[in-house]
Amino acid sequence: MTWDITGLGAVASVGDTPEEVYEALCAGRSGVSGLQVFDTSKYRARHAYEIDDRATPGVDEPLRATKWLGQVVDQALDDAGLPRDGDYPVLVGTTLRELRSAELWWRHGTPVSLPDLHFGGALRTGFGTTESHTVASACAASLYALGMATDMIELGLADTVVVAGTDSITESSYGALDRLQNLTPEAVRPFHADRRGMLMGEGAVAVVVRRSGAGGRVRARVRGVSMNCDGAHPTMPDVAGIVRAIREAHDRAKVRPEDIDLVITHGSGTKQNDLAETVALEDVFAAVAEPPFVTSVKSGAGHTCGGSGLLSLVVAVLSLDHGAVPPIIGLDDRMEEAADLRLVHGEPARGDLSTAQVHSIGLGGINAVAIVERAA
């Protein structure tokens, strides 16, 4: 069974629409900049991938994650040719929800009501949504939501589901990462020999998923989604868990390793993640004569937390459609262990691409892998 993706929506530090984000990544433009609203004297790191949309520079605002969620759901429904008030179930993957709004209330007394901290109210007001669910499974949240959406459709619970992800940067999370990481990154540098860790990014993303044949233009098809939680270590990814997730995704999608043309990795630029993904990919694709292209969206948009997997999926859909894969920005010295991977760097890689594999790898071994194919 396959599921149709009929609408796309996205906003990130590098663009306000899916096409803008994709074109920026293909052009090698990064959204990294100096911290805009945090007191930089408190942290070793001084950079992030923030969306520059605040009314007053240097003054933060509440409910930005909710605002972006509304924007991308609107984009995706419009792209799918569906009415805004169609009352479709919405599944939202997030890591931090509206924690930043709570921080602003606690620190500065910025008004925010308790109902505003849940996305359901804004979705009900903006789109007439009577059924919404928040999925909070770390960095894999939005791909978990995608898997849940395909289950809902297969079980006959809905014909159309909107899957989304959104996160704004919170100071508590930024500070915690700053203290936990041994090195101080100035940018996310996936698979680089001198990668120093992750930097948070902001953004939201949405896709409309429909039962195959339900109508509308088909942007791409979901072939299968796998999810697992290996629980091998609180923070360090486990190669065996990632390999199991990839192989299960292949089984669900009824594809072989040689069928995959493109892999968009989690690619967070940390020492352990990039090494674990490299070893996992070499295991899965060891017998493939022409291995897939490999890239990472985070080199341009940063780590957009709960929505990061779905943002990678949107970029995968556009890569299949355009026949061009965005490069890993700044990859001028690859890590030795990745010497055999077909990493895209410098310029976009071009070819006849039909099938893509997308990774999300969260803390605690929360893994998700999606397989999507180009629309015929």
C-alpha span between 53 and 64 (Å, rounded): 9
Torsions phi, psi of 366, nearest 5?
-90, 105
Matching residue, tokens 């390793």: 257
As a whole number of Å, the CA-based R_g of the chain is: 19
Boundary-marking domain end, from 211, 237, 265 = 211
pLDDT tens string 230-271:
998 888 899 999 999 999 999 999 999 999 999 999 999 999
Regarding whether 38 and 128 lie in a shared domain, the answer is: yes
Q: Average pLDDT of 323-350?
A: 98
Q: What is the pLDDT of residue 117?
A: 94
Mean pLDDT, the chain, as a whole number?
A: 97
**Percent of the chain residues past pLDDT 90, beyond the cut:** 95
Supply the angle between the helices 239-253 and 271-284 in degrees, to the nearest 10: 50
Length of the chain: 376
Phi, psi of 228 (to 5 degrees): -150, 170
Write the pLDDT tens digit of every residue in 87-144. Answer: 999 999 999 999 999 999 999 999 999 999 999 999 999 999 999 999 999 999 999 9
Q: 243 and 207, same structural domain?
A: no
Q: Which domain holds residue 337?
A: 220-374
Per-residue pLDDT, averaged over 308-331, amounts to 98
The burial class, CB within 10 Å (0-12 / 13-18 / 19+), for 231 is exposed
Contact 275, 335 (CB under 8 A): yes
Same domain, 207 and 240: no
Q: What is the pLDDT of residues 16-28, one digit of tens each?
A: 999 999 999 999 9
What is the average pLDDT across 51-75? 97
Please indicate, yes or no, whether residues 161 and 239 belong to a single structural domain of this protein.
no
If asked whether residues 24 and 58 sit together in one domain, one would say: yes
Encode pLDDT of 349-373 as tens digits. 999 999 999 999 998 899 999 999 9
Contacts of residues 321-324 at CB distance under 8 Å and 24 or more positions apart, as own/partner, are 321/219, 321/220, 321/374, 321/375, 322/22, 323/350, 323/351, 323/352, 323/353, 324/26, 324/348, 324/349, 324/350
Cα→Cα distances 40→57, 106, 171, 174, 182, Å: 15, 20, 11, 11, 18
In this structure, the answer to whether residues 158 and 204 fall within a common structural domain is yes
Residue 339 has pLDDT above 90, yes or no: yes
Q: Which two tokens stand for residue 258?
A: 């040689």
